[in-house]
Amino acid sequence: MMKEAAIRKPLILGHKTYHDITNDVVGPIEGKAPRQWKIALGIAAIIALYGIGCIMYLVGTGIGAWGLNKTVGWSWDITNFVWWVGIGHAGTLISAVLLLFRQRWRMAINRSAEAMTIFAVIMAAIFPVFHMGRVWMAYWTLPLPNQFGSLWPNFNSALMWDVFAISTYFSVSLVFWYIGLIPDFATIRDRMVSPRAKKVYGILSFGWSGRAKHWTRFEEVSLVLAGIATPLVFSVHSIVSMDFATSVIPGWHATIFPPYFVSGAVFSGFAMVLTLLLIMRKTMRLENYIHMAHIEYMNIVIIVTGSIVGVAYLTELFISWYSGVEYESYAFINRFSGPYSWSYWMMMTCNVISPQLFWFKKIRTNLVATFILSIVVNIGMWFERFVIIVTSIHRDYTPGAWGEFHPSMIDIGMFIGTIGIFFTLFLLFARYFPVLALNELKTILKVSGESYKNDQHKH
């Protein structure tokens, strides 16, 4: 049997049995919906409906309803897109990369992080899809035979790569998540008393019975999916960064973009995971499963990726001067001293300075500080994308073409609306789905459970 070093903190606190784990996770699904949940869902749903209203107005009126103009042709829409995709990076990173590195602490957070990933990628997709204007022609991005010749999409274009990257990322993440969910749905199915719930979870669980052969296949599939999802995680945000980097706009045309975007994505993704989990563990009483050790590990990931992002900012700045290209250096001087310098300094403070506070053990093991800083990081990462996109294009080559961007009500409404849709989906997930990976947690109970660990070291 596997043993774990005594120095490692136990991952499951308290004196749990296998049955306790099932009770703790499935219990909230069986009980009545708590009042706070209903209130939260109500608020999220109202915001979501407002967002859907704004989207409908946008489709009916045209993209002119956004604040875009001839100079600033990409702004909040693409900022929101990159922000959401970035948030969507933590889930698969946690479940795939940490699985390959055999990090057992991922098991308490992977399920909800993956759910967050899937919902965030859906939110991300809204923006480029509606940016097409005639959204009902979105299928034109696929190479389908047509009556124009056949005319095919351009596979030389980074935007086309993105269509493939995001859709592959979304569908593979969904499959990975669902394959892990099947055995847990079976656990819920076998516990449910009401025939309707039993039927629904019966369908969702695909008739899973937990046979030895099935478990062998399950583990193999999880491992292989993790193996191929790992390069996928890195490729997706690299390709998102190529939407910018393959253009010849000063401020965008940089080889540093792929690694810089990937670490930024992990940074913001972990911040969002922390924001959500700190609330979830409290309201669903999961403190024994998601405890200080997990939070500290995530905060360490935030320091690392935040520092990589900080180094990338400074490298960009240095190279813009060192390149000797005057347009390039102007783009960066304009970034930190031009009309949008407030957003640049906002980004610098939120992403580079404030995460460094996590070097102090007192701060990274403090729940309130972690919660506040995780939100600060999310704000900072939104501004990072805004800075990259808007400040690079708002001063065109000729001063006559200079412009500025002012968000319209529809811009703001759609952004706030996606936050509403995201939280609506996440709240529904937290209510009806097993929020912890039951079957995986049970495999580590005897290795990393507090009571078992203490027993082992007595012998």
Residue with smaller CB distance to another protein, 239 or 414: 239
Whole-number minimum distance, CB 159 to another protein, in Å?
A: 11
Contacts of 27 (CB under 8 A, 6+ apart): none
Task: Reduce the DSSP state of residue 304 to 3 states and report it.
Answer: helix
Q: By CB under 8 A, which span of 13-21, 62-70, 112-120, 402-410 interacts with another protein?
A: 13-21
Q: Is 171 near another protein (CB under 8 A)?
A: yes
Alpha carbon 13 to its chain centroid, in Å, reads 27
Residue with smaller CB distance to another protein, 41 or 225: 225
Q: By CB under 8 A, which span of 35-43, 49-57, 107-115, 184-192 interacts with another protein?
A: 184-192
Can you list the alpha helix ranges (DSSP code H) found in 323-449?
A: 326-337, 341-347, 361-364, 367-386, 392-393, 409-432, 438-448
Residue with smaller CB distance to another protein, 257 or 426: 257
Near another protein by CB under 8 A: residue from 307, 315, 443, 451: 443
Helical pair 158-191 and 195-204, crossing angle rounded to 10 deg: 140
Q: By CB under 8 A, which span of 280-288, 369-377, 412-420, 441-449 interacts with another protein?
A: 441-449
Pairwise CA distance, residues 421 & 427, whole Å: 10
- Which residues, 187 to 246, sit near another protein by CB under 8 A? 187, 189-191, 202-221, 223-225, 228-229, 231-232, 235, 239, 242
**Single-letter amino acid, residue 285:** R
- Which residues, 401 to 430, sit near another protein by CB under 8 A? none
Q: Is 137 near another protein (CB under 8 A)?
A: no
Pairwise CA distance, residues 201 & 211, whole Å: 19
Q: Is 262 near another protein (CB under 8 A)?
A: no
Whole-number minimum distance, CB 390 to another protein, in Å?
A: 25
Residue with smaller CB distance to another protein, 305 or 439: 439
Whole-number minimum distance, CB 259 to another protein, in Å?
A: 16
Q: Is 442 near another protein (CB under 8 A)?
A: yes
Which residues partner with 12 through β-bridges?
A: 449
Whole-number minimum distance, CB 2 to another protein, in Å?
A: 8
Answer whether 61's CB lies under 8 Å from 242's CB. Answer: no
Pairwise CA distance, residues 257 & 129, whole Å: 23
Q: Is 359 near another protein (CB under 8 A)?
A: no
Q: Which two tokens stand for residue 274?
A: 């922390």
Residue with smaller CB distance to another protein, 32 or 213: 213
Task: Reduce the DSSP state of residue 246 to 3 states and report it.
Answer: coil
Contacts of 435 (CB under 8 A, 6+ apart): 25, 28, 111, 112, 280, 284, 286, 429
Residue with smaller CB distance to another protein, 105 or 208: 208
Q: Is 176 near another protein (CB under 8 A)?
A: yes
Answer whether 264's CB lies under 8 Å from 416's CB. Answer: no
Pairwise CA distance, residues 182 & 438, whole Å: 11
**Single-letter amino acid, residue 349:** T
Residue with smaller CB distance to another protein, 191 or 431: 191
Q: Going residue by residue from 18 to 37, which x/- string records binding to another protein, judged by CB under 8 A?
A: xx--x---------------
Matching residue, tokens 């107005």: 57
Residue with smaller CB distance to another protein, 235 or 451: 235
Q: Is 160 near another protein (CB under 8 A)?
A: yes
Q: DSSP secondary structure string, 185-210?
A: HHHHHHH--SHHHHHHHHHHTTT---
Residue with smaller CB distance to another protein, 156 or 194: 156
Whole-number minimum distance, CB 451 to another protein, in Å?
A: 14
Q: Is 147 near another protein (CB under 8 A)?
A: no
Q: Which two tokens stand for residue 107?
A: 């098991």
Helical pair 212-245 and 76-87, crossing angle rounded to 10 deg: 150
Q: Is 436 near another protein (CB under 8 A)?
A: no
Q: Is 124 near another protein (CB under 8 A)?
A: no
Length of the chain: 459
Q: Is 2 near another protein (CB under 8 A)?
A: yes
Whole-number minimum distance, CB 143 to another protein, in Å?
A: 6
Answer whether 299's CB lies under 8 Å from 364's CB. Answer: yes
Residues that bind another protein (CB under 8 A): 1-2, 17-19, 22, 143, 149-157, 160-161, 164-165, 167-168, 171-172, 175-176, 179, 182-183, 186-187, 189-191, 202-221, 223-225, 228-229, 231-232, 235, 239, 242, 438-440, 442-443, 446
